[in-house]
Structure 1
Amino acid sequence: MWSILRRCAAVLTSAALVGGLAGASPVLADDFSRVDRDPVEGTAVVLTDGDELPTALFSLRLGGSDSVGAYTATAEGEVQPRTAYVESAWDDSTQWSETDAATGPADRAAWVVANSYPSVGLTELALASETVFLDERQAIAGTQAALWHVLDGAELDPAANDVAVAALYEHLVAGSESAPDESAAPSLEITPSQIEAVSPEEPLGPITVTSAGTAPVQLSVRGAPAAWLVDAGGEQVRRVRGGATVYLDVDPSVPAGVVTLHARGSDVPLPEGRLFTGRDGVRTRPLVTAEPGTTTSSTAATLTWHAEAPEAPPSPEPRPPETVLPSPESASGAERPVEVPDATPSDEPTREEEERVGGDGLAGTGTWLSGLLVIAGALVVSGLLILVLGRKRRN
């Protein structure tokens, strides 16, 4: 008995483990980035509104791989410690995508970090900014202030800051104004990210998987039990190269379903100037990478299909309104008074009551006389019985 129970418990435990693994998200621990150590502090800067803000160069570990330098994209807020970061597209935020400038903020930010510290050495950077000397703290401050300007609109007060910091700031801001439009796509991307179809007779797609790396990208689907990824020839696929096109083949017996397509790439090159935000909407200051690196990246897309809705029965035609002919009075212009029945109860008897009751208010004579005759007969009978009983007693 106990052996049977132990075997059942083992089966249930295995089933629960498999179910948990099947339902788990394919985004593993090394698919997101973290600020992994204390930042390198820069010189504090003063803005034109009088605010004095600290600057720093953070260390961002990319998906469990390289650690690269990163600056904050906004002047306000805090970098939450041990917060998970993920790569984001610049176009996902209207703060940076909606601008009237000829050169977009993302392009200007990429130019700033590519032409400043730590991508460029301190001596070379001092010569480019036409300053005599530039140390690490000054370089961090000038670069951070320039990023805040092109991304967040912050203005540096030249008179209230270090001369070298102000010189580097002016050099980077002016140079970014003519930055080329080189906004690259994310390191790993699925296009389109959403597909919806009604009663699909053909596989859903095409779906393009783009990767900045040369290594194959792993693909998987979660959701409907009868759906497979196939290539243009109908062969099932689980790994593709960047730029490949795939389709979602759906079992016709499944009328509706939702599938999440996951893509995961390893050792994906990541150039400087990429935007990282808090994972799952966590509120933390966004970061901009200041050095190139490699990362383990993942992304997803949603595919939905459903059966065609049945046709609704035709609604009844509306009946034309009835035409009311005007009365002669209304046609002549005189309004006819409306008679309102008197709701006050009357004390006079109705015709039915007058038929049951005589004119003097008494009941009808026929019914009244019958009742008197019945009473008289009963009295006579009672008297006779009394006489008979009296005679019998005397005898």
Structure 2
Amino acid sequence: MGVLRRCAALFSSVVLIAALAGTPAALADDFSRVDRDAVAGTDLVPAGGEPVATALYSLRIGNNDAVRAYTSSPGGEVRRRAAYVESDWSDTPGGAADRARWIVAHSYPHRDLLSLSLDIGLPLGEEQAIAGTQAALWRVLSDTEPDREANDQTVLALYDHLVEDGGALPPGPRPLTVDPDHLEATAPQEPLGPLTVSSTGDGPLNVSLSGAPAAWLVDAQGRQTAQVADGNALYLDVSPSVPAGVVTLHVRGENLPLAEGSLFTGRDGVRTRPLVTAEPGEATITTTATVTWRAPSPEAEPSPVPETPSETPEPEPSAPLADVAPSPEATPSEADRIPEEDLPTTGTWLSGLLVIAGALVVSGLIILVLGRKRRE
């Protein structure tokens, strides 16, 4: 028996390790890093501040080619070893992200230096184009204005063109999303969902789970699945043996189209300056959603409702009691009935006491009278 127990424990450990190893594998290449040396631009002097270096960075997205990118603010550090992931603009003030997308879509390197020179009426070098574009992004994203006296006039000309004459570019669809990104339920009797997956690519998307055991991903027909396509719905099938749990859904897409003006931030809260892509590209992206379910809380027993006194209706004329048979509801049960011999006969008992007391009084009087006669 000891050997069998050891084998069973070893088997359980192997199963657990295998399950953890497969949650989800090969996500290491889904993040991005700053690649190679950045192309330096002309320094910028913010109003009332010190000169700040500008640069056009190269961001290698997963295993895909690198795209060039600007920073979203002048503060902080671009940590070259930090992992970046594609993010949404939810923390950006309304309209700022749309203006930032317009700037990168209408400036260097998305547009060449010659066409930009014609727009501003001045010859424009690469360093000046980088600084002017970066100054415009800092203005709309972090409200940082350049010093009008301390900066290159050609840089300021491009800045004015992008900020004052610029427009707004509404966001397109994000490369990969799951809706909703968090789902809660109580005591699932049926598969939880749907979780709808959307992507800008045409290829299949790999899906996997990590977290609670005894849960499986199924499609709308209830079949287990490990791949979906754009617009497909997923459901989480949970074993009844697991009354509560939390799982994370991982969706991974490769070679997804990535528009210019996409935001990349440090993965898992890593502090590094956010980057805004300045040209379109392709990306391998993973997104997640969480599903939580819990056992139902015990139902509280209803508290007794006090009876409301009501007016007693006038009794209706009825037959004499001797002619009315007692109803079953009014008839006491055998257990509730008190034996007749145990009933107290209060009136009879009291009358007997009075008779005895009277007899004793009369007897006493007779004795007194007889005693007096004998003395006489």
Aligned twin of 1:121: 112
In 2, distance between residues paired with 1:151 and 1:187?
22
Following the alignment from structure 1 to structure 2, what is the Cα–Cα distance between the partners of residues 261 and 15? 20
1:276 maps to what in 2? 264
SS in 2 for 1:273: coil
Shift in Å, 1:20? 4.7
**Residue segments in structure 2 that go unaligned for 5+ positions in a row:** 1-6, 306-376
Partner deviation per Cα, 1:17-55 (whole Å, 9 max, x = no partner) = 635513x54452210000011111000112222331111
Q: 1:88–1:275: 8 Å Cα contact kept in structure 2?
A: yes
The code of the aligned residue for 2:85 comes to V
Q: Between Structure 1 and Structure 2, how many residues are aligned? A: 299
Counterpart of 2:287 in structure 1 is 299
Q: 1:26–1:262: 8 Å Cα contact kept in structure 2? A: no
* RMSD after superposition: 2.4
1:172 aligns with 2:162: yes
In structure 1, what residue type is equivalent to 2:52? Answer: L
Q: CA deviation at 1:144?
A: 0.3
Q: TM-score, normalised by structure 2?
A: 0.74
> Which residue is 1:33 aligned to?
32
Larger radius of gyration: 1
> Contact 2:64–2:282 at 8 Å: present in 1 too?
yes
Q: Alpha-carbon deviation of 1:111?
A: 0.6
Q: CA deviation at 1:313?
A: 4.7
Aligned to 1:238: 226
CA deviation after TM superposition for structure 1 residue 13, in Å: 9.7
CA–CA separation in structure 1 for the residues paired with 2:46 and 2:264: 25
Residue of structure 1 equivalent to 2:129 = 139
Equivalent residue number for residue 52 of structure 1 = 51
Query: After superposition, where does 1:348-387 map in structure 2 within 5 Å?
Result: none
Match of 1:263 in 2: 251
Structure 1: 5+ residue runs without aligned partners?
1-6, 318-395
**Is it true that 1:204 corresponds to 2:192 in the alignment?**
yes
Shift of residue 246 of structure 1?
1.6
Structure 1 pair 293–155 and aligned structure 2 pair: CA distance change class (3 A)? same
Residue identity opposite 2:225 in structure 1 = V
Q: Distance in 2 between matches of 1:71 and 1:272?
A: 11
Deviation at 1:137, TM superposition (A): 0.3
SS at the partner of 2:287?
strand
1:34-86, CA deviations, whole angstroms, 9 ceiling, x for partnerless residues? 00111110001122223311110111000121101110001111111211001
Q: Aligned AA for 1:18?
A: A
Deviation string, structure 1 residues 325-358 (Cα, Å, up to 9, x no partner): xxxxxxxxxxxxxxxxxxxxxxxxxxxxxxxxxx
Structure 2 SS opposite 1:144 = helix
- Worse overlay, 235-244 or 272-281: 235-244
CA offsets, 1:116-137, max 9 Å, x none?
1111000011111222x11100
For residues 181-213 of structure 1, give each alpha carbon's deviation from its aligned partner in whole angstroms, at most 9, with x where no partner exists.
Answer: x21342111110100001222221111101111
Q: 1:13 to 1:195 in 2, by over 3 A?
A: closer
- Give CA deviations for 1:225-283 in whole Å, capped at 9, x if unaligned: 32222222222222111121121122233322211111000111111101111111011
Give SS of 1:265's match: strand
1:130 counterpart (98, 104, 121): 121
Aligned equivalent of 1:88: 87
AA of the residue aligned to 2:190 = E
Q: 1:219 pairs with 192, 197, 207, which one?
A: 207
State the partner residue of 2:100: 109
Secondary structure of the equivalent of 1:195?
Answer: strand
Kindly provide the amino acid, as one letter, of the partner of residue 149 in structure 1.
R
Matched letter for residue 159 of structure 2: Y
Q: Name the CA distance, whole Å, in 2 between partners of 1:184 and 1:136.
A: 29
What letter is aligned with 1:86? V
CA distance, structure 2, for counterparts of residue 280 and residue 199 of structure 1: 31
Secondary structure of the structure 2 residue equivalent to 1:43: coil
**Residues 73 and 286, structure 1, Cα contact 8 Å, conserved in 2:** yes
TM-score, length-normalised on structure 1? 0.71
Distance 2:168 2:99 in 1: 6
Structure 1 segments of 4+ aligned residues over 3 angstroms from their partners? 10-17, 24-27, 312-317
